[in-house]
Each structure stands twice: as C-alpha cells, then as structure tokens.
Structure 1
Amino acid sequence: MVVHAPISNARNELWLPPPAMASCIRAIMMRDTSGVPLSKEQRFNRFPVNPGCILLWTVRGEFQLLAPGEQEDRSRTRTVVPALSLWAPSTRPHSAWNPAACHSFALVLLPDAFAALTGITPLDYLNRVVPLEGLLDAEWMSWCQAVQQAPDDKTRIELVLRFLQPRWQHHKQRNKNENWILKDWVQYLTTHAATSSLGKSVRQVERRIKSWTGRPLRELRGIGRAEQVLFELAISSLEENTNWSDIASKSGYADQSHLCRQVKALTGYSPEALRGHIISHEAFWPYRMWGFCHQHQHHYRQQTAKDALPE
C-alpha cells in the first residue's frame, strides 16, 4: 500500500508492510524532490520524536542535520548525514535540510525487532545518527549496498522483503493481531515483557521494555497518545475550529493542557501551530503521510469505536 502526501510536486510515498512483517517493519518512507523547484524553506524536513530505528538510504543528494532544538535557527552549522545511516530512537524532535534535490528511502523498523535481528541495542545509540558502515556486519552491509544501487524504489522494497522476511521468521513471537499503530505495539510489549522472563514485577517489566526499545514504557505510551492526536488532526483537518478538549479526551490525555505539553515536547510545536504546519508547510510531509494514511485511519477508527463500547 502506497500513500501520497502532496503539497509541492515532490514525490512523497509511504509503504506499509504485509501483516506477516508488521511486527518488524513499521513502514518505508520515500521522498524524491528531483526536478521540483523548492525554495530554501521547502527543503527543510521536520521530524517528531521517533521510537523506531530508521535505516536511511540517501540515493541522491544529501541530508544536513540541524542541532537539537534548532528547528527554526537556520544560521547554525549543520552536520552532513552519511548516505547510509541509522537514525536511532530519539527523545526530541529534530530537523534536517536538503541543500539541493534529494531522493531518500527510509526503512522504519520497530526497535525490538531491530535489536533481535542485528544484536544492536537501540539504547546504546539513543538520539544519534550514525553511519551503517562499521555498525552492521558484512552480510547486512552487502544488502544495504544492493538497496542503494537498485534501479528504483519498487526494487528496493523487494530487496528489503527478500532479506528481512526469512530472518524475521526465526525471531517472530508476536501477537496475531498485528497492525501499524503504536498504541497496540506498546500494549503488546507490556504483555510480552511481563510473560517472557522470571521477573514479573512492574520495575522488571519496565526495565525489560527499555532494554528492548531504548525508551521507558511511560514515554512509549506518550508517543502512542501523540500519534492518536495526529490521526485526530487528520480527521478534523478541514474544520476551521479544532476541538482540542475533545481530541485530548479521545487520545487518552488527562485534559487539554496535558495534550498541549506533550505534543510540544514530542514535535517542538503547540498543537494549533502543528495543525497549521501540517496542512500548509512542505517540511511537514512526514506528518501528512502518517496521519492521512487510509490504513492508519481505518484501524484507528476501529480502535476508537471499540474503546467507546461499554464493558
């Protein structure tokens, strides 16, 4: 399934995995601005806090990473991102800039799946962007090079599935109700952590989850709630007056103030500012792709309806 997120004529596509791989791959995000006349402002990329492990192939052009907290300060030095890189789980929003046309292919893996497949602990690289060279073994690097050199993104997706599917079958011990939203994944982690080892105290469960994902359970739940806000914003995107109290209630926040604090912490923007940027700013293409995805919206509506039923 491919989802488009247009503002300019840049190609922005989101590919969702088949159910058998949904417990490993969250998505593949593709962006290509080749031949598209973008202003300097439109060449920024705004990313929220990320719980996943992202393998990024910069097929053409380059990304320059802004220092944390420098989303609006364009005068600071930017760090060039390696063409093949790991974007580890992050606890803060971040921004990147493309100095010219750029074609990127990003594989978003769930952190526990990444750890199981590679033996790399996400917590060791928290908030870092590091080269894949020297991080992954020879077999993985050979695959990464093949993906980089593939003639098109369709072939890259095929290479990803061909490489990961057989490897994931050796590790797959997941719930059968597999889907693509964070709330359900976090719930699975909680159950799995409580039943996978001898220690079953709350502290031991939380320690286990942090070792698998690099994040405390409380933070993962917070990111899951923020994702629900994004879905609600997509639903209400055509309305002039968004009911933030109603969205707070539907998304599991204590009140509107709680929602505002957490959304700003996870994205760098107030909810109303974020809503305006998603609708009208090129740089927020990752938010549009994720929030307006039909499959995400369908599952979220199902879950919302189910949660609203009396027990």
Structure 2
Amino acid sequence: MTVAVEPYRERAARIAGAALWTRTAEGGEFRILPDGCMDVLLMDDELYVAGPDTHAWTGSAPRGTRYAGIRFAPGSAPAFLGIPARDLLNERVPLAELWSPNRSRRLLDRIRSAPDRADALDLEVARLLDEPADRLTTHILDSVRTGLLRGTAGVSRLAGTIGLSERQLHRRCLDAFGYGPKMLDRVLWMNVALDHARTGLPLADVAMITGYADQAHLTRDVKALTGLPPKILIS
C-alpha cells in the first residue's frame, strides 16, 4: 500500500497566538529547532506534550505517521497543562503522564471520534483553556521582542521595569517558558535571525539588524542551539 505523505500545514488556532499544524511523516530523521514554544500533539492515536527545547530535537518516524498539533505561544502552555514549563524542558511525554488517566482519555476520545481530528484538537484545547494571558509573561515577551534584553545589562533592566529581583525574574521565566530570560532571548532572536536569512539577506546584514556582534557571533549561536550553522539550516 502506498502511503500519501501530506506536507506540513499550519494555520492560526482558536487560542490567541497559537498555531494548529498537521503533517504526515516522510520517514527517516527530522530536526525541530528550539523556538520557545510548547506543543500538544496527536501522533497517530495518542496525545503527547512537547516541552520547550534548549537545543534542536532530532528524532525519526515511520513514513505515514500522522501528526496534528497545537503550538502554544511562548509562555501560554503551562496554563493549559497545569504544570510549570521548567518541568518539561527538553521533554516529550504522553499527556496521560501529566493529567489523570481519565481526564486525558476523555479528551483523546472526543478528538478521535471527530471527523476532523486536527480541528477537534483545536476546539477541545480552546474549550479547556479559559485563563487569560498572564500580564507578566506578556511583558517579558514584549521586552524580548523590542530588544530590551539584548546586551549584558538586559536582565537587570527588565527586572527593574517590573519590580522584581533578577532571581525572582529568573524563577518566573522558568515557570512560564522553561528558560531563564537570557536563554529565552537567545532562542527567540535566533528564530528572528533565521527568518531574515531565509529571505536571502546576507548573514552579515542579518547579524547587524538582529543585535549580534557580527556574522561569526550569529553563526556560533545558531550552531550552539541547533547543531548546524545557519547556511546549512536555510539551504
């Protein structure tokens, strides 16, 4: 039997800032880059949670393995899961290990009985997540995106703007993102840099506009986080 392999597809999810994605594996190894996000995913007939990564996640799947997932925006998955992000750092675990067996089974049964499992996953996750975005988490992300954390004094600047000590800020970041603030900054800005590089912009220019000291600094940081230099990742 020939297995039809569907390309990766993504659209906005019902949860603000999240994405619903689907994919059918081509077979062989794959590499997932750290992006600060956490996913709840349906792999064939089971639900799993993918925690935040500090380095590229490499794995393999038989050809035809079907995936559907909700990729939560950085910092938003712990409210749904009821567990700090730090506890899932670099982990892939069955949802049944985080929730009670009955609760996870009921969710899985509702998804599996739907005609469109990806849409059902999107609907059920949105139905269960009724907490608004945490204001501190939103402020931290905004600070990262505006470059406040860039440079050696970034953490102390951010802590000062929100009235926390650096240690308190670090702890809150671990709970929300799985990372301390500097690691969060590295991961998110690496992805910004790679997005610029994929447009064909020279790496030296990418480094300049994304706050790296130079192209060599960008290359070192990308390789440390992904295992590959940027030229290979975008080729």
Task: Name the TM tier (shorter chain).
Answer: 0.7 to 0.9
Counterpart secondary structure, 1:57: strand
For the pair 1:154 / 2:119, whether they are aligned, the reply is yes
- Cα contact 2:44–2:65 (8 A) shared by 1: yes
For the pair 1:226 / 2:190, whether they are aligned, the reply is yes
For the pair 1:15 / 2:11, whether they are aligned, the reply is yes
Identical aligned pairs, as a percentage?
24
For the pair 1:114 / 2:109, whether they are aligned, the reply is no
Q: How far apart, in 2, do the equivalents of 1:254 and 1:142 lie?
A: 51
User: Where does the alignment leave 5 or more consecutive residues of structure 1 unmatched?
Assistant: 1-7, 61-82, 237-241, 277-311
The match for 1:97 is 60
User: Where does the alignment leave 5 or more consecutive residues of structure 2 unmatched?
Assistant: 150-154
Letter of the structure 1 residue corresponding to residue 8 of structure 2: N
Letter of the structure 2 residue corresponding to residue 270 of structure 1: P
The match for 1:259 is 218
The match for 1:45 is 30
Letter of the structure 2 residue corresponding to residue 132 of structure 1: L
The match for 2:165 is 201
- Shifted more, 149-158 versus 126-135: the winner is 149-158
Counterpart secondary structure, 2:211: coil
Letter of the structure 1 residue corresponding to residue 16 of structure 2: M
Counterpart secondary structure, 1:96: strand
Aligned CA distance change for structure 1 residues 141 and 254 (closer, same or farther; 3 Å): farther
Match of 2:145 among 184, 200, 208: 184
Equivalent pairs, count: 223
Match of 1:30 among 10, 22, 35: 22
For the pair 1:145 / 2:79, whether they are aligned, the reply is no
Aligned CA distance change for structure 1 residues 174 and 204 (closer, same or farther; 3 Å): closer
For the pair 1:272 / 2:235, whether they are aligned, the reply is no
Q: How far apart, in 2, do the equivalents of 1:92 and 1:28 lie?
A: 23
Offset at residue 269 of structure 1 (A): 0.8
Aligned CA distance change for structure 1 residues 267 and 219 (closer, same or farther; 3 Å): same
Counterpart secondary structure, 2:187: helix
TM-score normalised per structure 2 = 0.78
- Cα contact 1:186–1:220 (8 A) shared by 2: no
For the pair 1:59 / 2:61, whether they are aligned, the reply is no
- Cα contact 1:193–1:208 (8 A) shared by 2: no
For residues 136-182 of structure 1, give each alpha carbon's deviation from its aligned partner in whole angstroms, at most 9, with x where no partner exists. Answer: 14445422332244222334333333333xx124x6547999x9x99
Match of 1:250 among 195, 200, 209: 209
Per chain length, whose mean CA-contact separation is higher, i.e. which structure has more relative contact order (CA < 8 Å, sep 6+)?
A: 1
- Cα contact 1:59–1:148 (8 A) shared by 2: no
Letter of the structure 2 residue corresponding to residue 133 of structure 1: A
For residues 222-250 of structure 1, give each alpha carbon's deviation from its aligned partner in whole angstroms, at most 9, with x where no partner exists. Answer: 111111112112321xxxxx521101011
Q: How far apart, in 2, do the equivalents of 1:255 and 1:59 lie?
A: 44
Offset at residue 57 of structure 1 (A): 0.6
Counterpart secondary structure, 2:8: strand
